[in-house]
């Protein structure tokens, strides 16, 4: 038993010498800039839609969400999202753009299997559990709210 423990510690030390140290400050700064840039761009689009096109604020917010999702899907489809994510890290993955990428990537990967079993089945491999949990949680909260107010 002690021999296994010693081997484990030796292996951990061996792996540690080859594991690169993360550059936390630099990565955090890049994520902050990119994520902030996405948010600033989204706000600029929202302001443009409300000012130039006269859309109500809520409708403009909906359009901004649609624009961000479609942009992320397009960038994923062109194969640029992975390179962007390697550079910016969580800055482009955390907003809704990351969710759009997570939905489209498996669908693109399995497109050779056909539109139904490939794209259709894999499109919701990530989104499916998120939707199920989100809908279930909203129903539970709604029932609790309804039970408290009745």
Distances (CA, A) of 9 to 5, 6, 13, 22: 6, 5, 6, 22
pLDDT of 24-73, one tens digit each?
899 889 989 998 999 999 999 999 999 999 999 999 999 999 999 999 98
- C-alpha of 58 from chain center: 23
The predicted pLDDT at position 1 comes to: 58
The predicted pLDDT at position 140 comes to: 95
Give the start-to-end residue ranges of the domains of the chain. Answer: 30-109
d(CA 114, CA 117) in angstroms, rounded, equals: 6
Instruction: Say if pTM beats, i.e. exceeds, 0.85.
Output: no
d(CA 68, CA 84) in angstroms, rounded, equals: 15
pLDDT of 94-147, one tens digit each?
778 888 888 888 877 777 777 777 777 777 777 777 778 888 999 999 999 999
């Amino acid at each position: 038993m002690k021999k296994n423990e010693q081997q484990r510690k030796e292996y951990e030390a061996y792996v540690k010498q080859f594991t690169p140290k993360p550059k936390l400050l630099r990565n955090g700064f890049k994520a902050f800039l990119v994520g902030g840039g996405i948010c600033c761009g989204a706000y600029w689009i929202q302001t443009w839609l409300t000012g130039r096109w006269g859309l109500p604020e809520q409708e403009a917010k909906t359009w901004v969400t649609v624009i961000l999702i479609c942009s992320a899907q397009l960038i994923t489809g062109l194969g640029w999202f992975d390179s962007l994510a390697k550079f910016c890290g969580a800055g482009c993955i955390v907003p809704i753009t990351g969710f759009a990428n997570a939905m489209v990537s498996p669908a693109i990967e399995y497109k050779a299997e056909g539109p139904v079993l490939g794209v259709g089945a894999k499109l919701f491999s990530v989104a499916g559990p998120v939707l199920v949990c989100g809908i279930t949680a909203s129903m539970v909260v709604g029932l609790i709210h309804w039970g408290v107010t009745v």
